[in-house]
Structure 1
Amino acid sequence: MGLTVVSGSGHTWRLTEQIGSGSEGFVYGVDDARPLVAKLVPDPPDPEAYRRRVARLVRQRREPRTVGLLSGTPVRLAWPLVSVRTPEGPEADPVDGYVMTDMRHAHLPFGHLLSASARAAFLPRATWATGLRCALALARLLAELHTEGYVVGDLKPDNLWVDESGRVAMADVDSWEFTDGREVFPGRMRSPGYTAPERIGAPPGTPLRTAHDDFALAVLVHQLLVAGLHPFAGHPADGGDYLSYDDNVLHGRCRLVDRTSVLLPRSVPPADLLPRRIAELFRTAFAKAGPRPTAADWAHALAAELAPGRLKACAVNSHHVHTVERPWCPWCDQAERGADSYPGRPGEET
């Protein structure tokens, strides 16, 4: 017998195959004419608090601050549409969750844009300009969320989706930090490599700030613009052992901040492929002192780089798009060192 879930009003859905899982829950297909999936969370730390969180998000879907976020096509947020739970039975306790839009209907996993092989297989027309557009869409969406009082807290590729035009969508809304009336629903989740240094090691329950999202955004924008390379990738140049991205974050090992801090393969994209103002924003975002650029700051700067005349296509390979600030093609430079992030076909039009 297949798994079923039921809403508070008594509507029942039959779930199909499991299509994803995370640190807290599982996502299943839903047997419905509409593109829907269901997320079930078997063991939340506080089941009653989790049910209340989802119920508030379902209600907020109709409130002014959220209506604008959910407008437009395709849908940008996998917002909880209705709370559900598995039926009670003699063999297992009921499991709570919610039904949401299936992002696969109009998007691909965000990680496909960060890998050369996945880009070739699933997004063959993608160029550096696609990464720019995706970065801009992500920055704008995050800026809107912050304006409306939401903090994502666990911004990472696994929670994001993208289409071939660079439009972005976001899932795992139930992990965000937000308020409803006087009640605060804290965000608990964090992921290695996307956690701001001041949050690494912080005790559970430490309030989230938009600056924490701004750090993760800068990491993701770097990955989008530097062909998937994490800004804190690299072996410590002082001879110490590589431990993790988070260890590099805590010790400030970042090529853009200090070229001498890490050792990287010669095949990675050159650092000078970035426009000057974008590189400066990265240095500010990853520096240990001072405020970080906000999502709105990133949106403004990225939009400027997509303005007419700011991009140039390589004469050898039309998939090699780069900033006009660079006098020659950075992707051809990378190819000479043993890798090509945007190979395409010589002379092919994009």
Structure 2
Amino acid sequence: MAYFIGREPGAARIRLGERLGEGAAGAVHTVRGQKGVAAKLYHPGKGLDALERKIDAMLARPPKLPPVEHEGVAYPQIAWPQGKLYDGQGKFVGFLMPEIDFSRSTSLVNLLQRSSRRAEKLSDYYGYRVLVARNLASVFAQLHGAGHHMIDMKPANLRFYPALSWMAVVDADGFSIAGRNRRLPADQVSDEYIAPESWRRQPAELGEPQDLFGLAVIIFQLLNNGMHPFAGSGDAGQASDLQSRVLAGLYGYGLTKIDGARPGAASIHKTFRRSTRMLFDRAFTTTDDRPTAAEWRDHLDGLVGMLIPCEAKPLEHAHFGSGCGFCAHEARLQSAAQVHREREQRRARRASAQARARRPVPLHGSGVPGVPWPGTIAQSRRANAVPLWQSRPGLAGTAGSRPGSRTAALVAILLPLLALGGAIGGAASFSRQDQRTETDLWNAAFIVDARSMKDVDSDPASMEETANDAGSGPCASLSGWIEKRLCERPQLAAAERQVTAQFERTAARHSGWARQALTDEHLRWLERQGRCVLMPDPDPCLAESYADRLAALEKRDAS
């Protein structure tokens, strides 16, 4: 079908190329012969007369946001209309705009969390996020200067160029646009970013104050470990969803404390400059004195110049002169994990002592309190609690034949895959707690290996007896907390073996980049699973982690 840039006779004709994407309002295509130009065609029956008036208003008052030039490539900051499109009958059907290259840009959501930054291979340096926040404020300072408002402002609706840290704003025809005689409104706004005073109002009624609230929320997330300013802990019975907490005013990061609002554990807001905290307080505790986008731009300009790289991790951490908040947070996590490990060790010792106290004094047998009777399963297990590859014929000294403990299986599967990653440029890293030699890894896991051998009795009662001895028996010699947990919990050990076997089967069906991606995904799962140590009872967390991972691997295997 033919499309024209104008209604008049002799108007330039364009030909559409591939479809770049499609939404509720219309579809976006490339334009053949015009590099860097895209065409948006509205779906039929979408109120084209009103849409044409909106595009006319946008063409009349564009913001001053020219493309950024870098190494001969133009990077548009915003997909603003450049001309209207008509069909062969002279009917308005859409508009031309700069093409935002999605292969060079990514969603702002991906910059908020460490896991997504690593998955998307984005910079993990804190100063980079401060710079992106500055550029975000700069775009909206220009947009607001032209009288326009985004309204539905949230990270999922914003993109940026990782190579430049500049923004790439799309779907601008959904904004609230300043017309010649009246405003042409937006029709969408999203929970978690709605200002308190905007809650009971329609999107068409909202303006710059709503934008300033959403902008401040996103800047707070970029500067504070991805945390929403109304996330955190509080009194029993408080609202838990973020929008309800916004409406209740539960902002726990201010210079003045608010009753019932406490900050999240991962927050680093106390290391912010006082001037930064004052701006956030104005954004979240007032409705008529929020910082403008231009204020944020100028303030963040100054913060970029104040950044001090952390001495411990200069490629990731930085601060503004009050100490590294990231290092302090990591120290808190390590302290909490240590406290939990010590609590678990005391609990295991008490359980072992109580189990020994309940045993009857033998009239025959060993005659030594606490030593199982000869011939029982427990005595056989304890007597054979050595690395089974050292005692089974044909296994001694053969690493490739050692049985499938947690560590052993992971090392056996992942080491070749990590070698593949290095060969093809991957950046995977084994992040389990025990970073020891391969021999240490084998020898630390013998009790789980013992449970996986066919010639060892799997009677639940005998397993429970072994678990009760964890405080002083073989389990106590394991240094990794997950390895100890598997040693003490047969059900978890079975789940570990099931996931490891499924991973091995799935990995065998992939090669090259697909196999590397699968390996990276598995390593990230291992890292996330390690957080279960912070739970009061890690067992449900571990069980859920295994179930989720098994389901994901089975789905990958079936695809």
Task: Tell me the distance in 1 between the aligned counterparts of 2:212 and 2:51.
Answer: 26
Q: Indicate whether 1:14 and 2:9 are aligned.
A: no
In the TM superposition, what is the alpha-carbon distance from 1:221 to its structure 2 partner? Answer: 0.3
Aligned sequence identity (%): 23
In the TM superposition, what is the alpha-carbon distance from 1:79 to its structure 2 partner? Answer: 0.6
Compare the two structures and name the one with the higher strand fraction.
1
Pair 299,288 (structure 1): closer, same or farther in 2 beyond 3 Å:
same
Residue matched to 2:390: none
Task: Give the count of matched residue pairs.
Answer: 321
Compare the two structures and name the one with the higher helix fraction.
2
Match of 2:309 among 313, 319, 323: 313
Pair 312,176 (structure 1): closer, same or farther in 2 beyond 3 Å:
same
Residue pairs, 1:108-123, within 5 angstroms = 108-123=106-121
> Which stretch of structure 1 is more off in the superposition, 142-151 or 119-128?
119-128
Match of 1:325 among 301, 321, 326: 321
In the TM superposition, what is the alpha-carbon distance from 1:277 to its structure 2 partner? Answer: 1.3
Output one character per residue of 1:262-315: Cα deviation in whole Å (capped at 9) or x when no partner: 56764x2333232221112111100045511111221221111122xx222222
Q: Which has the bigger relative contact order, CA under 8 A and spacing at least 6?
A: 1
> Which stretch of structure 1 is more off in the superposition, 29-38 or 109-118?
29-38
What secondary structure, in the 3-state scheme, does the structure 1 residue paired with 2:229 have?
Answer: coil
Q: Indicate whether 1:251 and 2:253 are aligned.
A: no
Output one character per residue of 1:242-263: Cα deviation in whole Å (capped at 9) or x when no partner: 2x32211111122214465456
Task: Tell me the distance in 1 between the aligned counterparts of 2:171 and 2:125.
Answer: 28
Pair 264,255 (structure 1): closer, same or farther in 2 beyond 3 Å:
closer
Residue matched to 1:133: 131
> Which stretch of structure 1 is more off in the superposition, 318-327 or 220-229?
318-327
Residue matched to 2:36: 35
Q: Structure 2 unaligned segments of length 5 or more: list them.
A: 70-74, 335-427, 430-559
Task: Tell me the distance in 2 between the aligned counterparts of 1:333 and 1:20.
Answer: 45
After superposition, the CA RMSD in angstroms is 3.1
Pair 179,128 (structure 1): closer, same or farther in 2 beyond 3 Å:
same
Pair 43,325 (structure 1): closer, same or farther in 2 beyond 3 Å:
farther
CA contact (8 A) 1:41 1:95 kept: no
Q: Structure 1 unaligned segments of length 5 or more: list them.
A: 89-93, 346-350
Task: Tell me the distance in 2 between the aligned counterparts of 1:199 and 1:10.
Answer: 44
Residue pairs, 1:1-350, within 5 angstroms = 7-8=5-6, 9=11, 11-19=13-21, 21=23, 24-30=24-30, 32=32, 33-42=34-43, 46-61=47-62, 66=63, 68-70=64-66, 72-73=68-69, 74-84=75-85, 96-104=93-101, 106-164=104-162, 165-203=164-202, 205-206=204-205, 208-234=206-232, 237-242=235-240, 244-257=241-254, 258=257, 261-262=260-261, 266=265, 268-288=266-286, 290-307=288-305, 310-327=306-323, 329-338=324-333
What secondary structure, in the 3-state scheme, does the structure 1 residue paired with 2:220 have?
Answer: helix
Code of the aligned partner of 1:113: L
CA contact (8 A) 1:131 1:224 kept: yes
CA contact (8 A) 1:275 1:323 kept: no
Pair 322,44 (structure 1): closer, same or farther in 2 beyond 3 Å:
farther
CA contact (8 A) 1:273 1:322 kept: no
Task: Tell me the distance in 2 between the aligned counterparts of 1:17 and 1:226.
Answer: 38
Residue matched to 2:480: none
Greater gyration radius: 2
Task: Tell me the distance in 2 between the aligned counterparts of 1:116 and 1:20.
Answer: 30
Tell me the TM-score normalised to structure 1 length: 0.79
Pair 269,204 (structure 1): closer, same or farther in 2 beyond 3 Å:
closer
Pair 193,304 (structure 1): closer, same or farther in 2 beyond 3 Å:
same
Code of the aligned partner of 1:82: G
CA contact (8 A) 2:41 2:95 kept: yes
CA contact (8 A) 1:15 1:30 kept: yes
